[in-house]
Amino acid sequence: MSTASPPLTEADAARNGRAAEALIEMEGITKTFGQGAAAFQALKGVDLSIDRGDFVAVMGPSGSGKSTTMNILGCLDVPTTGRFRFRGVEVQDLARDQRSLLRRRYLGFVFQGFNLLARTSALENVELPLLYRGEKKKQRREAAERSLDLVGLLPWADHTPAELSGGQQQRVAIARALVTDPDVLLADEPTGNLDTERSLEIMELLTDLNKTGITILMVTHEEEMAQFAKTIVHFRDGLVERIDRGLKSHVHAPGGEHA
Ligand code: ADP
Ligand code: MG
């Protein structure tokens, strides 16, 4: 396990005069899968800038490049051409292990299928990212309990995923994503496997988390879920077609505030 620091700290960024820059900046991002006659350009020049504290819904038809973009944003993949800056760091210039440090330190992931370990308690599932970081048992346990409490599932800490509903499983997955105290939560169709009521509960949880300062990027097919976001990015054919910013969030809150 590497103990090296992430490539750039907040203090470094401030020294470089970059503190005022967007948290995430993509410029002319292209991504080509395959080679020669089989080559397919999934992204054709994506420009996207996201500020710290935003809640972004990414929408668009199937195959329009949403997941490919999320994989680049999540430092899981690199663009073929173009620049991706995160916290002032040029991610495409980093070595693979530096990218994974960035990912482990600053990013949390939530997936459509929850991706929990089956015969493992909720608490142990949430502890996992800290285990990978080499943290001690006591610290792991305390942080995982705090994180489970944040999603309202501390009483279910000893239960395995099979003993939890889909909505509860996704909340465990969110607790797992939060346990490392990330800057950004990346969620690819987090409500895709849930009914409407459970989906709205997840969206309310994400809204509350966003209010505490965490930046959220979420792919969704559903207009109803996208309404919770402050910014909606529409993809089409490997390009950003339109960005709607400054949207009123919390439309579902009772007696919601007036613009
Ligand atoms: P979305 O998430 O919007 O449905 P994706 O980003 O998953 O779209 O995919 C965009 C396009 O790129 C699709 O046509 C898809 O088939 C293609 N694609 C994605 N990943 C790969 C890959 N690893 N190899 C080849 N083609 C891919
Ligand atoms: Mg997708």
Using the mean position of ligand 2's atoms as its centre, give its distance from the Cα of residue 218 in Å.
Answer: 11
Residue 206 is assigned to a structural domain of this protein = yes
**pLDDT surpassing 80 at residue 126:** yes
Alpha-carbon distance of 156 to 164, in angstroms, equals 8
Residue 59 is assigned to a structural domain of this protein = yes
Structural domain count of the chain: 1
Residue 192 is assigned to a structural domain of this protein = yes
Is residue 210 within 8 Å of residue 216, measured between CB atoms? yes
Specify the ligand 1 atom closest to the Cα of 238.
10
Residue 13 is assigned to a structural domain of this protein = yes
E strands in 147-196: 184-188
- Give the orientation angle of helix 137-150 with respect to helix 122-132, to 10 degrees: 130
Using the mean position of ligand 1's atoms as its centre, give its distance from the Cα of residue 63 in Å.
Answer: 6
Give me the domain span that covers residue 212. Answer: 2-117+181-258
Residue 228 is assigned to a structural domain of this protein = yes
Q: The whole model's pTM is what?
A: 0.87
User: Tens of pLDDT along 108-122?
Assistant: 999 999 999 999 999
Residue 97 is assigned to a structural domain of this protein = yes
Using the mean position of ligand 2's atoms as its centre, give its distance from the Cα of residue 186 in Å.
Answer: 13
Check residue 116 and report its DSSP letter.
Answer: -
- Among protein residues, the one whose CA lies closest to atom 17 of ligand 1: 42
CA 242 to chain centre: 21
Q: What's 217's domain CATH number?
A: 3.40.50.300
CA 239 to chain centre: 20
Specify the ligand 1 atom closest to the Cα of 235.
3
Q: Would you state the pLDDT for residue 183?
A: 96
Ligand 1 surroundings by CB, under 6 angstroms: 33-34, 40, 42, 60, 62-68
Instruction: Provide the 3-class DSSP secondary structure of residue 208.
Output: helix
Residue 154 is assigned to a structural domain of this protein = no
What confidence category does residue 133 fall into, taking pLDDT thresholds of 50, 70 and 90? confident
**pLDDT surpassing 90 at residue 255:** no
Is residue 57 within 8 Å of residue 226, measured between CB atoms? yes
- Among protein residues, the one whose CA lies closest to atom 26 of ligand 1: 33
Query: Over the chain, what is the mean pLDDT?
Result: 90
Q: Would you state the pLDDT for residue 6?
A: 57
**pLDDT surpassing 90 at residue 159:** yes
Check residue 60 and report its DSSP letter.
Answer: -
E strands in the chain: 24-33, 40-50, 55-59, 81-86, 89-90, 107-111, 184-188, 215-219, 231-236, 239-244
Percent of the chain with pLDDT over 90: 85
**pLDDT surpassing 70 at residue 91:** yes
**pLDDT surpassing 70 at residue 169:** yes
Q: Would you state the pLDDT for residue 4?
A: 52
